[in-house]
Amino acid sequence: MAIEVKSHVKKKNVEYHVKRLEQIKRYPPAQYQGRKVVGGIAGLMIDRDAKDLADELGIYVLEQSGDAVRLAERPEWFKAWEW
């Protein structure tokens, strides 16, 4: 899993992370060759439009929950993309 971590996640961060995931797929480092990669984005604050876009693009969202991090609720139709 390739995770982008930001203190404040915005829509542009999700879009940029998808571009990087596509680069990993196109030019995989040796340790990723022959493997599937899923994407995730984590942050202390996550804009609603960023979370919605991540859901649409099949990227997991990790959010702060007290002193821990948890996987954000996903819509029923969510399916993680594999790069």
Residue 52 has a pLDDT of: 96
Residue 81 has a pLDDT of: 92
Closest by CA position to 58, among listed 23, 22, 28: 22
Q: Which domain holds residue 11?
A: 2-71
User: At CB < 8 A and 24+ separation, what contacts does 24-30 make?
Assistant: 24/83, 25/83
Assign 55 to helix, strand or coil.
helix
Tokens 């984005």, residue located:
41
Instruction: Report yes or no on 21 lying in a domain.
Output: yes
Instruction: Report yes or no on 37 lying in a domain.
Output: yes
In the chain, the number of structural domains is: 1
Instruction: Report yes or no on 83 lying in a domain.
Output: no
Instruction: Report yes or no on 57 lying in a domain.
Output: yes
Query: Which residue positions in the chain have pLDDT lower than 50?
Result: none
User: CA geometry: angle at 65 spanning 60 and 68, to 5°?
Assistant: 90
pLDDT by residue (tens digit) across 49-64?
A: 999 999 999 999 999 8
Token reading at 20? 């990087």
Instruction: Report yes or no on 80 lying in a domain.
Output: no
**Integer Cα distance of 31 and 57 in angstroms:** 24
